[in-house]
Amino acid sequence: MRSPLIVALDFPTLDQAVACAQLLDPKVVRVKVGKQLFTSEGPAVLSALHNLGFDVFLDLKFHDIPNTVAGAVSAAADLGVWMVNVHASGGRRMMEAAANSVAQRGNKTQLIAVTVLTSMDDADLADLGITETPAEQVLRLATLAQSSGMDGVVCSAQEATLLSRQFGRDFSLVTPGIRLPEDDASDQRRVVTPWDAIDGGATHLVMGRSITGASSPADVVDQIIARLA
């Protein structure tokens, strides 16, 4: 049975990403391809991961005028990705255009919207002229995303409980910033452990270095799943 884990393949080359993916079970985890890897290798990395049997979350966080974003997400859907994302701060017209574009493809690509990056806190929002707390801003953007046709949002697990109560379990809550207790938070600010995130209502957990940096990534996955169970 596939777990809620999405392993972030944050590597600079296709060979490194595939080497790590080959240590994982596509029946158990999904994988995420971000900006660095996709910019370096392009669609070839998606083909390689699909050939290994993985569902792929293409994490490019599109944010542009509606027509441009609609074209970008439809191209991603045509590449067969399981999930792709946009920035909710792009607004209703942008998200609606993206949702309509994916719907016209008739496939099962999930379209989700980024609310507030997990690297940001109150001070970062204040620098942008936003006086709300991260939780208040996340709820505002998630509400806009849901009403604009998104399948879910990217949020901190700290906000998952609030959003789960508001939108129910059919609205995907994809949570980065997931760390094991012994891990360094690095550049993340709003971090949570995997079990606390699931208890709080997260539907998917994005984890990178905690898994990919381990000597045996599969063993770490097994330990996390056992704890979640």
- Give the active site residues: 61
Determine the straight-line distance between the first and last CA of the chain, rounded to whole angstroms.
Answer: 12
Report the distance separating Cα 169 and Cα 136, nearest Å.
Answer: 20
Question: Residues comprising the binding site for substrate?
Answer: 10, 32, 59-68, 118, 179, 188, 208-209
- Tokens 């079990």 correspond to 195
DSSP 126: H
Whether 144 and 166 have beta carbons less than 8 Å apart is answered as: no
Residue 51, φ and ψ in degrees, nearest 5 = -65, -25
CA distance linking residue 87 with residue 94, whole number of Å: 9
Which one-letter amino acid corresponds to residue 40?
A: S
Cα separation, 211 vs 201, in Å, equals 22
Look at the block and give the residue holding tokens 């109150």: 122
Q: Which are the contacts of 182, defined by CB distance < 8 A and separation ≥ 6?
A: none
Distance of CA 22 to the CA centre of its chain: 21
**Residues annotated in the binding site, as ranges?**
10, 32, 59-68, 118, 179, 188, 208-209
Pairwise CA distance, residues 167 & 142, whole Å: 9
